[in-house]
Amino acid sequence: MNIAADPSKFTGVNGSAETGRDDATPVQVSADAAPAPASSAAPVPPKSAYRAPAELPTQQGANGLRYDFNHGCRVALPQSTHPWKVRLRDLDTGNILFETVIPAGRISSSKRYYVRIGIEVWQQDENVLTHDYSARDREVLIQFPVGTLGDPLGWFPYAVKFQERHGCKLTCAMSEKLIALLRDSYPHITFVTPEEVEPERYYASYGIGLFFDDKDFLYQPTDFRHVGLHRTAGYILGVDPTEVPPRLTIPDDSRPIAEPYVCIAVQSTTQSKYWNNPDGWRSIVAFLREAGYRVICIDQKPVHGHGLIWNHIPHGAEDETGDKPLSERVRYLKHASFFVGLSSGLSWLAWAARTPVVMISGFTHPNNEFDTPYRVINWHACNSCWNDVRQRFDHKDFLWCPRHSGTPRQFECTRLITPDHVKAVIRSIPGFTAPASHRAGSAAAATADIR
């Protein structure tokens, strides 16, 4: 028999509760969320990239109740002779988030990002649990999606900040390819693959990602398109969002090429990320070679595309593409004079390797990526659609161009970035030597002006 919860017995900020039961079957009670059927589960991101938390909260309280902070604050209340009164409070703002009286059930906060929540539980006006969130010396899990390179590199430093702020025993779950780059630089952090996660261990856990359709802000306190792809992790984890590149360690740090060289990466996952100027890469490679640099392409693939659209390694670039370890990419990047690329994973890897990055991008706003003085964007063209909350990025549409698809303006954001524009940015890099022909031309022009 289901017993409806008395609405007069709970209050809070947008609080709600599901029905209680008079049997031993626990029910889900969702704080700060709209009412849902008693059989519903806690909300999870669509196609979740993370291991689910343990079925029961991992921390044991008095009288058989359990609690934790795994994907939100969770409290499980066993059937009892006397009803439970539960209150969840935001300890930093002072707001009561949720309060209810139920005979048995489960309560979970709707917010899955970091909130310092206090839990208070009573029975017969006797306090049986008061617990304020504290991760010090406790096991905490932060999960990163696999299958992507740049995003976790940008997010990981915020996990480090979280560990430093809270003094917790931090475990990070991510791709083993990234673990190989980070583990030796962060011996105080435990690294595991998603398959190695043990959900029953953790006091708290958080999932870092880009939540495009999170209109209710359950998984992020602010839309990542406003604050930047990497800085969103700072907001999710409640730490300083100032960017910091991660530290990378590789087994072989020797210089791979004796001569001065530049690394480039021309490929990406969708055509809007490419430099769509038809003469762009050919012209830049020729410019760099004339300046005395070898030009090394370190993409994974020499050719990539979809349907009738295919993008090839630029003429004149040396082919170092292929399925090579990321450590080998880092080795090339660390000794390169600079890197020229797109808003893609290898640009983030170059940033992490402390290599100057010339980034050619128009479909993202500059605050979307790490700060570089060598960002190339044409403000005269349509730009920044990816950071426009009115436009939903379609991962399945290789030719995604939400504002001008099928028109002469398609991909103008990078098509109108000229080789001369990129060359001017490259010339501003300290230590860059201009091509001999350019120096000769400038000298001739100066002589003409004098005459």
**What amino acid positions are annotated as catalytic residues?**
151
Tokens, residue 395: 């991962």
Residue 276: how many CA atoms within 13 Å on its side-chain side? Answer: 23
Beta carbons of 311 and 321 less than 8 angstroms apart: no
The one-letter amino acid code at 98 reads F
Beta carbons of 290 and 435 less than 8 angstroms apart: yes
The phi and psi torsions of 252 (rounded to 5 degrees) equal -125, 110
Cβ burial 358-383 (10 Å sphere, 16+ → b, else e): bbbbbbbbbebbbebebbbbbeeebb
Tokens, residue 396: 């399945």
State how far the Cα of 155 lies from the Cα of 190, in Å rounded to an integer: 16
- Rg of the chain over all Cα atoms, to the nearest angstrom: 27
Tokens, residue 51: 């291991």
State how far the Cα of 250 lies from the Cα of 248, in Å rounded to an integer: 7
Nearest CA to 155 out of 376, 351, 354 is that of 351
State how far the Cα of 173 lies from the Cα of 205, in Å rounded to an integer: 11
